[in-house]
Amino acid sequence: MEIIKYPSREEWPLLLTRPALNVSMLFDTVRPVLNEVRAEGDAAVRRYEEKFDNVTLSDLQVSEEEINEAKNLVSDELQQAIRTAKGNIEKFHASQRFTGQKVETTTGVTCWQKAVAIEKVGLYIPGGTAPLFSTVLMLAVPARIAGCKEVVLCTPPDKDGRVHPAILFAAEVAGVNKIFKIGGIQAIAAMAYGTESVPKVYKIFGPGNQYVTAAKQLVSLKDVAIDMPAGPSEVEVIADEKANPDFIAADFLSQAEHGVDSQAILVTTSEYIVDKVVRAIEGQLEKLSRKEITEKSLSHSRIIVLDNEQEVIDFTNQYAPEHLIIQMENYSDVAEKVENAGSVFMGAYTPESAGDYASGTNHTLPTNGYAKAYSGVNLDSFIKKITFQEITSEGIRNLGGAIQTMAANELLDAHRNAVTVRLKTL
């Protein structure tokens, strides 16, 4: 893990880099799979499930029997935790409901917006090294609150052709319509194009590996919308001399265990805490079950000491972290100055894992600096806003002249005439 003390601003661009792969390099690998699924449907999906997930499937869809059986395989304690998280996610996202107002922009001219749910959405839930049942809640709960009519979920099965029971339980609790045993590129293709089994959806959500990310980007060019560009997960901790080194170390490691390409950064004005944090990381690392993955992630993580608080804020807004943890005495004041971040965790007792699971906020967030322009998943992600306008005869009298003048100056005579013919009748 690099430790950099008092770098000049000219050195910042190098320190802002992520270990992310340029997924455009994978397009040539991904494109043939997408094309075959589009052309051959279920047959291609099964073929790639056998190739990539090492499983031969007769049925792609998870049966009611499998869903019911999953309930008996999930402990009461985990079931209760999932229900608690679902309740908090539901409460927070329900508070985001849009209420449109009619506005009279000119006398006789009324405009307004109406929020309408995206009818069909697809959720991708990675299998990989950990069953991300929490992501099921983060995506399916707001989809249901928004009013999406069809919520389809794809997730890779294990070698026995089964889906992790906690994913199935979370999907049922959150109200998913259909669950499919499909992973990777072929899952994105199935939802983007539709197959005999899998409905075509209008927008795809969810994280995944570099191949899933590349597939999402390709299908989004013309076939389906996606939630956001995404890369490896990341956290930035900003701390002062009074921060608890054990808390910082725990947050570092909870991020690093996501994957070998995850990144954790500590930015501080205090040299005093650096050695303490390093020792705490080393001590806690030894106790982790995912130690090998975490160590690889730490190899491209950094501790950066800067001169003052303003430099910390400026660096943070340039880095635009997916997760930002503020462990500073004046954390509320610092948080007010944050302009670019996916989700902010304020104060010593607010770990990133709270937002990952159960506080209520969404954990599907922009990475790789995209927080400069993208929001994390929220209720609006599942909604379209349609604009309406109504103009009375008085309204067209009041506004018609401006419309005619603008149309004439853009040399669009038919546009001007659409107003002129109406005004002649008045």
Binding-site residues for substrate sit at 233, 255, 258, 323, 356, 410, 415
Of 93, 323, 352, 363, which is the active-site residue? 323
- Amino acid, res. 293: I
Question: Residue 59's Cα: distance from chain center in Å?
Answer: 29
Other CB atoms within a 10 A radius of the CB of residue 42 amount to 17
* Residue 87 contacts residue 184 (beta carbons within 8 Å): no
Is residue 104 helix, strand or coil?
A: strand
Binding-site residues for NAD(+): 124, 186, 209
Strands 103-106 and 109-117: antiparallel
Is residue 31 helix, strand or coil?
A: helix
Secondary structure percentages of the chain, helix, strand, coil, to 5: 45, 15, 35
Q: What is the DSSP string of 309-378?
A: HHHHHHHHHHH--SEEEEESTTHHHHHHT--S-SEEEESTT--HHHHHHTSSS------TTGGGT-PPS-
Q: Which H or E run includes 203?
A: strand 203-205
| Known active-site residue 323 | yes
| Known active-site residue 93 | no
Q: Which H or E run includes 113?
A: strand 109-117
Dmax over CA atoms of the chain, in Å, equals 83
Binding-site residues for Zn(2+): 255, 258, 356, 415
- Distance of alpha carbon 54 from alpha carbon 44, whole angstroms: 14
Binding-site residues: 124, 186, 209, 233, 255, 258, 323, 356, 410, 415
Of 36, 49, 234, 322, which is the active-site residue? 322
Active-site positions read 322-323
